[in-house]
Amino acid sequence: MKKKKTKRGLVIKIRADSNHLKDMKQGLEDLLEQTGLILHKNSFKLIGNSLILSLNLYTKQIDPFLSAFSEMLDGISRQRSAPDEEAEIEISDAGALECQGQTIIHLENGWKIRVVPDHFDPADHLEPPAPDTVLIKTGWAFGSGRHPSTQGAVSALDHLYRLGVMHNARVLDVGTGTGLLALLAGKMGAARVVGVDIDQQVRETAMENIRLNRLSDRLKILPCIDALNLKKQDVIVANLTPSVLSGLIDTLVDILAANGFLLLSGYPSGARDRVENMLKSRGMEVFYSLEKQGWATEIFRFIRSKI
């Protein structure tokens, strides 16, 4: 009896500056053509500065494809003149999630993420998640908790939490994706959290995750910062590439409270000087910083008087 061939879902999410993303998209199209893979018309999705590819591969195709994908990335990186604009990449094995029911990601200081399949029904989830655990569906959105830039942002949020900053704070999460960082802020005792994302489908995923975590009373998702019309924010989180951040930085600094904290992540260590200079020219200083696997996370605050 012939053994049945099984397929598994693979989701590749790439976030980068526009020129880098263009190179990535062309490289992926060439790779898919070379490997003879046929895509559904909705397999490629461009969201702002993100490219998402959804594939269904036979099990024996996955490793060779990922190996060729890695070689393609290396080739593009060698050709680039700005190595500090490295792409942020998440690879999710959707098939594995469906088989296992969930994936638990353990973060620092006891925080946990339970990534559930996209078909997971919140109505079947009768018990609220534990205080130290966030449940998320990923869908098309960034923020599974696997990437070091996301993990760095979680560590920085935890640092503010342990200083007592998060209690009753007003928090803004720019480019919220799955809503993971916004959800963690809510778990850490923030009074009001607003997540912003330009893509409607991503916002729907974030709103479903809010319902899944029973945080609808404190968390809200909006399409843009202009729609906020809120008071100054105590904590602003932005896990963004430097090119996107540069276009938003004046707005973020303007809506940050005088004693507030601006948490930035999503850029390689090589871009730290550029980001720090951007903030120093606007009267801010580094309050806290860390690196994870070549990715930087920093918290900034307004320069305090030494008198």
Got the DSSP string for 59-112?
Answer: HHHHHHHHHHHHHHHHHHHHH-S-GGGPPEEEEEEHHHHHHHS-EEEE-GGG-E
**Ranges 43-47, 57-61, 218-222, most confident:** 218-222
**Confidence (pLDDT) at 249:** 94
Location of structure tokens 């930085």: 249
Would the CA dihedral through 65, 67, 73, 76 be positive or negative? negative
Name, in order, each residue with C-beta under 8 angstroms of 226's C-beta and a sequence gap of 6 or more.
none
pLDDT tens digits along 252-291 = 999 999 999 999 998 888 889 999 999 999 999 999 999 9
pLDDT tens digits along 151-203 = 999 999 999 999 999 999 999 999 998 999 999 999 999 999 999 998 888 89
| Chain-centre distance for alpha carbon 274 | 21
95 pLDDT band, cuts 50/70/90, is: very low
CB atoms within 10 A of CB 33: 9
pLDDT tens digits along 226-237 = 766 767 999 999
Q: What's the chain's average pLDDT?
A: 82
Name, in order, each residue with C-beta under 8 angstroms of 45's C-beta and a sequence gap of 6 or more.
51, 52, 53, 54, 140
Global pTM value: 0.78
**Confidence (pLDDT) at 122:** 64
How would you classify the pairing of strands 112-115 and 103-106?
A: antiparallel
**Ranges 89-93, 112-116, 278-282, most confident:** 278-282
User: What stretches of 91-222 show up as alpha helix (H) in DSSP?
Assistant: 94-100, 148-162, 180-187, 200-212
Task: Kindly list the structural domains of the chain, giving each domain's residue range(s) and its CATH number in brackets, ordered by start.
Answer: 7-95 (3.30.70.600), 101-302 (3.40.50.150)
